[in-house]
């Protein structure tokens, strides 16, 4: 029984390392633009928007092709669910972005999901401040 617990612990640790390694190369950038090669332009983790709202781009870079035709951006503000935005993707894309308009200040966490396989892809956090 003791050996079984020991073996289970080792397997659990190996699975945890595999999951961490699998998602470590995926990146979410918040930026003012995206160039033709999928690189962020004027990337930041803090943006100031006008009182009427402002937009920025959420860029997702992957070390693999998405292999899905639709992804979702689940948006949380200050820890509470706000909205989900979906975009169409191509199966061979390794990066994609969405221009999102923000109207309220706060700390936003955006989680990206592959809707074809119902899998988490990546997430990022940005702070939005108002003028």
* CATH assignment of the domain containing 30: 2.60.40.2550
* Residue 15, in any domain of the structure: no
* Residue 52, in any domain of the structure: yes
* Residue 11, in any domain of the structure: no
> What pLDDT score was predicted for residue 25?
77
Residue 15 burial by Cβ neighbours in a 10 Å radius (0-12, 13-18, 19+): exposed
Q: In the chain, how many domains are there?
A: 1
Least confident of 13-27, 36-50, 52-66, 89-103: 13-27
Domain with 48, as residue range(s), is 26-130
Token code pair at residue 1: 């029984």
Q: Hey, is 44 helix, strand or coil?
A: coil
Between strands 46-49 and 119-130, the pairing is: parallel
In the structure, what pLDDT confidence band is assigned to residue 2 with cuts at 50, 70 and 90? low
* Residue 3, in any domain of the structure: no
* Residue 60, in any domain of the structure: yes
In the structure, what pLDDT confidence band is assigned to residue 22 with cuts at 50, 70 and 90? very low
Least confident of 17-21, 28-32, 51-55, 118-122: 17-21
* Residue 67, in any domain of the structure: yes
Sequence-separated (6 or more) residues with CB below 8 Å from residue 49 = 102, 103, 105, 128, 129, 130, 131
* Residue 4, in any domain of the structure: no
| 83 or 23, greater pLDDT | 83
Q: What is the mean pLDDT of residues 10-17?
A: 48
Q: Hey, is 40 helix, strand or coil?
A: strand
* Residue 123, in any domain of the structure: yes
pTM for this structure?
0.79
Sequence-separated (6 or more) residues with CB below 8 Å from residue 68 = 89, 91, 114, 115, 116, 117
């Amino acid at each position: 029984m003791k050996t079984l617990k020991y073996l289970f612990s080792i397997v659990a640790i190996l699975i945890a390392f595999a999951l961490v390694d699998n998602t470590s190369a995926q990146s979410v950038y918040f930026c003012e633009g995206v160039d033709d090669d999928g690189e962020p332009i004027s990337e930041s983790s803090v943006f100031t928007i006008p009182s009427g709202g402002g937009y920025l781009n959420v860029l997702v870079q992957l070390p693999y092709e998405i292999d899905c035709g639709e992804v979702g951006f689940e948006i949380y503000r200050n820890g509470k669910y706000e909205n989900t935005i979906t975009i169409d993707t191509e199966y061979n894309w390794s990066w994609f972005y969405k221009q999102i308009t923000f109207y309220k200040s706060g700390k936003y966490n955006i989680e990206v999901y592959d809707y074809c396989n119902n899998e988490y892809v990546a997430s990022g956090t940005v702070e939005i401040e108002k003028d």
